[in-house]
Copies of this chain bind each other. A is one copy, B any other.
Amino acid sequence: MLPPLKLGLCGLGTVAQGMLTVLHDNREIVREKAGRDIQVVRVASRTEKPDVDLLGGSFSTDLATVTDDPDLDVVVELIGGEGVALDLVRRTLRAGKAVVTANKAILASKGDELLSLVREHGGMLAFEAAVAGGIPIIATLTRSLVANEIRLLAGIINGTSNYILTAMTESGQSFAEALADAQKLGYAEADPSFDVEGIDAAHKLTILGALAFGVGFKFDEVYTEGISEVSGEDIEYARQLGYQIKHLGLARTGPDGVQMRVHPTLIPEGHLLASVNGVMNAVLVRGNVTGDTLYYGPGAGALPTASAVVADLIDIARGNRPELPLMTRDNSVTLLGIEDVESGHYLKIPSLDKPGVFARVATLLSEREISIEAAIQKEQAIHTETQEAWVPIIILTQPVRESVMNDAIDALQQLPEIVGRIRSIRVEHLGDE
């Protein structure tokens, strides 16, 4: 048997503790699959050591004891965030060593630099745990679907947002109520903006897009919109039209370039992604050879994420190198701005209940060559300020360029019969183009 793989661990939060649990509880499995032991030699965390079995590793509050130990084979970075974690990953890679990390933020913002360091110094960088925890989507893109040109990625990749939208859909809760429940259950942070405003999903999509399309890690160029403005009404109207609202990360390649965007999306209720509920995640991948495949599982949580970390460790222990699929790609692929993206739109247009309003709306859309796929006109309500009778006109359009749709919404908003802000949510059928 080979000598043990010597591991240094930075960070002692829940994922790190999960990793120690897996290395302890599944010790025999890990040894068998790795063909050698994985030995925790050093553990460092800036806070004092919690009451955790370090499996024989020596503890320090000084991260340098890990990064500067030349005897370690691999450093596991589970601190998270960009500051300290980024420094120590850089330092370890500059020493030509292997890093295993679950840190999506540093990959999304500095992935290109970190991969350069790997190439320059001969180290390794494995990050299966950084995207969708228990779902092996990194290995799928870099290995299993490696013979494919990837055409589309569509993922439910933020469990908090999916929990909230599921609760709003299934029990009619408002966004605020569902968020409060998610916070009580530990599915959302006290400050939930990172999740519900789509930033976390954009980090993950940045990584998936870089792997699938070779566009580099361009977090700043991913269009990002969260779920905080989705209303129970929108969900109900979508349902009546045969759709569910999900928060999707979408990356697609086409003749004009690559588009990467994160936003609430109407998808057909018969699509498998529409059945992915609660905190679960799923990613649809369309390859030019396999067609559509889909991967479903827990997107977060200490143990599922730890499972991915340990899988990377076993892979390195076996002597495999984590794949760096971008090594020979250049970063010159065009990334489309959101104004150039085409998608269908759900429009909720609050209008006076007068004859001819729907016709005026339809004419205005038609003048801009926007086709209506479906429409419903709802029961009357009374406008709170003007006391006039009004109805929401609900329209689903065929795919149309975002800039054209924005112009149309601006024009609709000027009509005297429109009595409130028009709400627009993108629609994706996720069918073959």
Contacts and interface: CB of A to CB of B under 8 A. Distances in A.
Q: Is the interface of A mostly helix, strand, loop or mixed?
A: mixed
B291 A304 contact: yes
Interface stretch (A28-36, A108-116, A180-188, A222-230): A28-36
A154 to B, nearest CB: 13
Interface stretch (A56-64, A72-80, A139-147, A362-370): A139-147
Contacts of A298: 290-293
A276 interface: yes
Contacts of A145: 136, 307, 311
Interface string A250-292: 0000000000000000000000100110000000000111111
A307 B134 contact: no
Contacts of A276: 272
B144 A139 contact: yes
Contacts of A136: 139-140, 143-145, 293
B26 A147 contact: yes
Contacts of A135: 293
Q: Chain A: interface residue count, which band?
A: 35 or more
How many copies of this chain are found per oligomer? 2
A4 interface: no
A146 B293 CA distance: 21
A143 B328 CA distance: 25
A149 B296 contact: no
Interface string A303-326: 110111011001100101101010
Nearest to A309: B147
Contacts of A133: 290
Nearest to A276: B272
Nearest to A297: B293
Given A144-B139, A147-B310, A311-B143, A297 B288 contact: no
Interface of A: 22, 25-26, 29-30, 32-33, 128, 133-136, 139-140, 143-149, 272, 275-276, 287-298, 303-304, 306-308, 310-311, 314-315, 318, 320-321, 323, 325, 328-329
11 contacts: A26-B289, A128-B144, A134-B290, A139-B140, A143-B315, A145-B307, A287-B307, A289-B303, A289-B307, A294-B295, A296-B296
